[in-house]
Amino acid sequence: MNGAQSAGRVIVLLGSPGVGKGTQGIRLSGAMGWAHVSTGDLLRAALKAGTALGLEARKFMDAGELVPDEVMVDLVREHLAAMGSDRGVVFDGFPRTVPQAEALGAVLAEEGRQVDQVVLLEADAEVLVRRISGRRSSPSGRVYNVHFDPPRRPGFCDDTGEPLIHRADDQPETVRTRLSVYREATAPLVGYYDARGVLVRVDGEGDIGEVQAALREAVGVARGATATGA
Ligand code: AMP
């Protein structure tokens, strides 16, 4: 919890599907030289690569349900071990349940680390639905929004030129399931982290730049700061 010590910091972005955790997490981690760990991206990569993990996860993802905790914890543990502990990390989409939060605390403690800050991004339900319905993803991992953050050439990624995808789990019925799974399984993490004194709330309704500025202020990194140790 020391603002002067950025290396090795662990930040969790919490919030409903569609609130902007991915967009904001990529920007924050990119600016600070921290790792961005999106478990949804890790699962989609496993699926694309056709691994056993990807195939197992698929049925849950397509239905908008959560992949079992043990699978997720193993995935994150392996990912962290491969990364080394001196780099800051922004988690996006993990933890999503109280057992996952407990396991993350234990894995970090083995490295002498802890969750330093949890940022709850908040937005009205109407905003969430508009954001999710406009979302288009590049196979590269970059996410656009046809309303708020469109690609230069409609339908194609600015970086790689690949066609953009409307994720199967961004279709309306699955979105409803994901929102109710969030309320039941993930929202209890607000109380969990609040009780540990690490929760901070950020208004996620502004445009991308406004939310990013508020997020950086919340985690104590100056706007424009880019160094890992800043
Ligand atoms: P996301 O891209 O974060 O919205 O994740 C897409 C899907 O991957 C979710 O709807 C879940 O099926 C699965 N998933 C991602 N992260 C987790 C997690 N921490 N626990 C369980 N399932 C997850």
Ligand 1 binding residues, C-beta < 6 A: 17, 39-40, 43, 60-61, 64-67, 72, 93-94, 96, 100, 169, 178
The b/e string for 1-35 (b: 16+ C-beta within 10 A; e otherwise) is eeeeebebbbbbbbbbbbbbbbbbbbbbbebbbbe
The rounded distance, in Å, linking the Cα atoms of 114 and 111 is 9
- Measure the CA angle with vertex 94, ends 60 and 61; round to 5°: 15
pLDDT tens for the chain, 230 residues long, are 444 444 489 999 999 999 999 999 999 999 999 999 999 999 999 999 999 999 999 999 999 999 999 999 999 999 999 988 889 999 999 999 999 999 999 999 998 999 999 999 999 988 888 888 899 999 888 889 998 889 999 999 999 999 999 988 888 888 889 999 999 999 999 999 999 999 999 999 999 999 999 999 999 986 655 544 33
d(CA 52, CA 20): 29
3-state secondary structure of 27: helix
For ligand 1, pick from 36, 55, 61, 100 the residue to mutate: most ligand atoms within 8 Å of CB.
61
Q: How far is the centre of ligand 1, averaged over its atoms, from the C-alpha of 176 (Å)?
A: 14
